[in-house]
Amino acid sequence: MSQQSFPIRPFMPADTVALRDLFAQSIEELTAEDYTEDQRLAWMATAADAKAFADRLGSMLTLVVQVNGEYLGFASLKDNTVVDMLYVHPYAVGQGVGTVLVDALERLAKARGAKELTVEASDTAQTFFADRGYIPGRRNLIPIEDEWLSNTTMSKPLTDEGASAEQPENT
């Protein structure tokens, strides 16, 4: 199932509202087993300011999966070394969208000289990243508004066999 292919394109400012909705729905529906309602609301509120969210996505290498007009997921690479964001829409989860996005970021980072990628993986995504070769390091507690959210710093060396050969479109 995870080997499915999806079209990938770079983020455009016009995607902002749809990706903000996707971000909120992904957190609300997919992370409920790992984070409380208050923690999820604080996490979702980090995108409350649409302009700041657009600026954040635009300042990084952000890739979007959109099929037949529907937004299925997005991911962002920061400083060519950090997977800063990875969110899949609940109705598209488990179909390989996350894998295609991470593979694309790994390939692009490697092409630009990165030797390793890191991610502060949510507790929800930790197994996903571990299955893709990311090694868990320290545990973190991140203050967001009045809440503390846990995550794990994970890293993956970008060896020759580390990234897929799939090509994102228009990048």
Ligand X SMILES: CC(C)(COP(=O)(O)OP(=O)(O)OC[C@H]1O[C@@H](n2cnc3c(N)ncnc32)[C@H](O)[C@@H]1OP(=O)(O)O)[C@@H](O)C(=O)NCCC(=O)NCCS
Task: Select from 109, 47, 86, 95 the least CA-distant residue to 67.
Answer: 95
Among positions 60-119, residues that touch ligand X (CB under 6 A) are 86-88, 93-99, 119
Residue 137 touches ligand X, criterion: CB under 6 A:
no
Q: Tell me which stretch binds ligand X (CB under 6 A): 24-32, 45-53, 55-63, 139-147.
A: 24-32
CA trace torsion 159, 114, 93, 136 (10° rounding): 70
Lookup result for tokens 């990311």: 134
Q: Which residue is nearest to ligand X (CB)?
A: 98
Q: How far is the CB of 24 from ligand X (least distance, A)?
A: 11
Q: How far is the CB of 143 from ligand X (least distance, A)?
A: 17
Size of the site for ligand X (CB under 6 A): 23
Judged by CB, which is closer to ligand X: 84, or 113? 84
Given a contact cutoff of 8 angstroms between Cβ atoms, the answer to whether 63 and 82 are in contact is no
Alpha helices by DSSP H, listed for 33-164, are 37-45, 50-59, 97-111, 126-131
Residue 121 touches ligand X, criterion: CB under 6 A:
yes
CA 24 to chain centre: 13
Residue type, 72: L
**Contacting residues toward ligand X, per CB under 6 A:** 1-2, 26, 30-31, 86-88, 93-99, 119, 121-122, 124-125, 127-128, 131
